Amino acid sequence: MKTRTLGQLGPKVSALGLGTFSFGGAYGPTDEAESLRALDAAWDHGITFLDTANIYGNGIAETVIGKWLSTRPHRPQVATKAAFTDDPKRRVDNRPEFLRACLEASLKRLGVDHVALFYAHRHDPEIPAEDLAGTMQRLQTEGKILGYGLSEIAPYTLERAHAVHPVTAVQNEYSLWTRQPELGLIQRCASLGVAFVPFSPLARGAFGAPIPDPATFAPAEFRNRVPRFQPANWPHNRLKLKAFQDFARDLGRSPASLALAWMLDRWPHVIPIPGTRSAGHLADWIGAPDITLTDADRAEIDRLLPIGWAWGDRYDEAQTALAERYS
């Protein structure tokens, strides 16, 4: 597995990380044994960067990773996130005492004394970015985190936080069907020496093979809330995805690996974190860093999936309200 640097001064990590959102059941029922097999497969394939959060299954994902770490000799770089609350009046909280308490709980579930990267899962508009950076700086000085990150933010928040204490990474949604970060955020990360970590780089499974069928989604599954999978939009999206899948097949690639290769080819500071709880699904895209695209490949991908091709929003209204917008 090829490597990339996690921020200007951060450690070397695998060019692909593993996202663990699905470990907590967000994409349907799962179990601990399946998730442990996925972690084993990821390590065996050279993945050294794991991404999780305290809300993934209300601590389930972190607990599974903690069990894996306690029973294996492997020592990957682990990133986790916190900011969401159970309080409907304050859905996001970046106050120092809240983030500290969340981090301590995460470290306990993970069974470690520090993590490589700790993100504010969302920016709390009541807390200035400068104050958030100061909180993270103190946690780093104490050795509880090696670096900090911000998630679903706009470029101006990155600039304000980075001016107080250098940001290690920004994690926003980015894929061939969600390209808003190209409107300045990815470029600003590059100029500041900040890693950009795309979550949902496979469009929440849309680039899988076979193409998912929303009619089969479990009732409580996260994607049922995503407008792009709903009946008014999905048939149009599926047609585009089918064309891309056919092109990938003509190249002898899986659609998932080609979608990741496109991203890695465009940006040297990008470290995607495709998520899966299945060792089999992981094998479908693990070879993406070794794919070399030609100019003809790039042009055909641009033709098949031009910017803005996806029908529907990436979030419902409640989810959108928690992400910073800058366009």
Would you name the residues annotated as active-site residues? 56
- Contact criterion met (CB below 8 Å) for 259 and 174: no
Decide: 69 and 112 in contact? Cβ < 8 Å: yes
Q: Are strands 12-14 and 3-5 parallel, antiparallel or unpaired?
A: antiparallel
Backbone dihedral region of 154: left (phi > 0), alpha (psi from -120 to 50 degrees) or beta? beta
Q: Contact, 129 vs 148, CB < 8 A?
A: no
DSSP character string of 222-269: GGGG-GGGSTTTHHHHHHHHHHHHHHHHHHT--HHHHHHHHHHHH-TT
**Rounded distance between C-alpha atoms, residue 176 and residue 263, angstroms:** 8
Q: Strand, coil or helix: what is 189?
A: helix
Strands (E), the chain: 3-5, 12-14, 18-19, 49-51, 77-82, 117-120, 148-151, 169-171, 195-196
Q: What is the DSSP string of 103-121?
A: HHHHHHHHT-S-BSEEEES
How far is residue 6's CA from residue 21's CA, in Å, rounded to a whole number? Answer: 20
- d(C-alpha 122, C-alpha 241), whole Å: 30
Task: Judge whether 151 and 171 are in contact, CB under 8 Å.
Answer: yes
- Residue of 142, 150, 86, 147 lying closest to 124 (CA atoms): 150
Distance CA 65, CA 207 (A): 26
- Neighbouring-strand partners of residue 170: 150, 196
